[in-house]
Chains A and B, each alone.
Chain A
């Protein structure tokens, strides 16, 4: 009785082990295939960064300019400096700068500029990338 049970378990056990092993082998093969395919055929373009204003929020403390920095290139950029310039009615300028530690290839990072005064949405507000370094 006991021996039969043991024998049955011995047959069942390896079956499950092979199934789990087989599925795992397939997953690792897909992973390696993907990496090799990317290594062989994917482009490796340098960072191509664009900054866009996502929102302009007026708070009691002033104005928050929310910005999204998108990297259209394949490589990551580090220490990405972004600048926000506001041109006032009399031509006076206000400047703010932030730095994002990394923006991954084809990735997005977000940040915000803060102005102590309330900004008129009619004003000319521009954001631009100042520069970056290689990671």
Chain B
């Protein structure tokens, strides 16, 4: 093969990779891009929280790239570069769509449209990184599966799943509205149902293979080792997201707990299904 043909090949591959990443960003982020609460949050959210969101996203993206990202990465430096590329692609995707939806206009002050884009970029970047692993999975299944085998990796993947589903609903007003409608007994029921459904997913995935839990262990081993930590992760991520989006402001302790339990329901499903959907 000639040198020019090789470089053309590489260019095609790079273009395809960027395309996949953009597609992933779109799939993850579209529901959020079309949610009006997020446009508003973009300009009224405290800049400090936006900064914390971005700052906490970077290590997450680097870790994500480490586990299941873009190419078979060799060093942490590559992972950081991949995370930054994902953020860049996410930025382009979010900016173009928000422009097309007319939700950012040139008449607005820069802090307003910057905020609107910044708040969307994080989930879109997660999508961009995941998409590459998704499309790539067929060819490299063995190597990625081996990396997912560790317990830490499994919990990390659950956290990403929780973040994925949580992000989509956390900014909506319905999270609080549902919490207001519920009594404490409803909340108890929701926690129990979340645990049952989660364990159903964990159990189903065990048969699909790749879990750290042995098949001949009794069911409650997996429940304690995987399901419960997964649910606690979902709770923690829910509280974090509610706080980032300013949904816990002015709430009493028990109402904040209720809202966290409400958001933890989709987050838990996301966590448990992470292995299936990511």
Interface residues in chain A, defined as those with a beta carbon under 8 Å from any beta carbon in chain B = 13-14, 16-18, 20-25, 27-28, 31-32, 34-36, 38-39, 42, 44, 75-76, 78, 101-102, 104-110, 135
The residue that A31 contacts in the complex, of B155, B191, B224, B255, with Cβ under 8 A, is B191
11 further contact pairs, Cβ within 8 A, besides A21-B228, A105-B180: A17-B151, A20-B151, A24-B224, A24-B229, A32-B188, A35-B184, A42-B254, A76-B255, A104-B180, A106-B255, A107-B250
Whole-angstrom CA separation of A22 from B254 in the bound complex = 24
B235/A27 in contact, CB under 8 A: yes
Whole-angstrom CA separation of A22 from B187 in the bound complex = 22
A13 contacts which chain B residues (CB < 8 A)?
151, 212
Whole-angstrom CA separation of A102 from B181 in the bound complex = 12
A36/B184 in contact, CB under 8 A: yes
Whole-angstrom CA separation of A79 from B241 in the bound complex = 25
Q: Mark B228-252, 1 if CB is under 8 A from A, else 0.
A: 1101100100000000000000111
B251 contacts which chain A residues (CB < 8 A)?
104, 107
A32/B191 in contact, CB under 8 A: yes
Whether a CB of chain A sits under 8 angstroms from the CB of B195 is yes
Instruction: Count residues on chain B whose CB falls below 8 Å from chain A CBs.
Output: 31
10 A-B pairs (CB sep. < 8 Å): A13-B151, A16-B151, A17-B212, A18-B225, A21-B226, A28-B191, A35-B261, A78-B180, A104-B252, A107-B251
B185 contacts which chain A residues (CB < 8 A)?
39
A76 contacts which chain B residues (CB < 8 A)?
180, 255
Whether a CB of chain A sits under 8 angstroms from the CB of B104 is no
B232/A24 in contact, CB under 8 A: yes
A21/B229 in contact, CB under 8 A: yes
Whether a CB of chain A sits under 8 angstroms from the CB of B176 is yes
A102 contacts which chain B residues (CB < 8 A)?
176-177, 180
Q: A76-B180, A106-B252 are in contact. Are A18 and B224 (CB under 8 A)?
A: yes
A18 contacts which chain B residues (CB < 8 A)?
224-225
Whole-angstrom CA separation of A101 from B250 in the bound complex = 13
A25/B228 in contact, CB under 8 A: yes
Whole-angstrom CA separation of A76 from B178 in the bound complex = 11
A28/B250 in contact, CB under 8 A: no
Whether a CB of chain A sits under 8 angstroms from the CB of B216 is no
Whole-angstrom CA separation of A61 from B252 in the bound complex = 35
B45 contacts which chain A residues (CB < 8 A)?
none
A36 contacts which chain B residues (CB < 8 A)?
184, 188
B184/A20 in contact, CB under 8 A: no
B257/A31 in contact, CB under 8 A: yes
Whole-angstrom CA separation of A109 from B250 in the bound complex = 6
A106 to B: closest C-beta gap in Å: 3
- Name the residue of chain A whose CB is nearest to the CB of B178: A135
| Interface-central residue, A24, A34, A102, by most chain B CB under 10 Å | A24
A39 contacts which chain B residues (CB < 8 A)?
183-185, 187-188
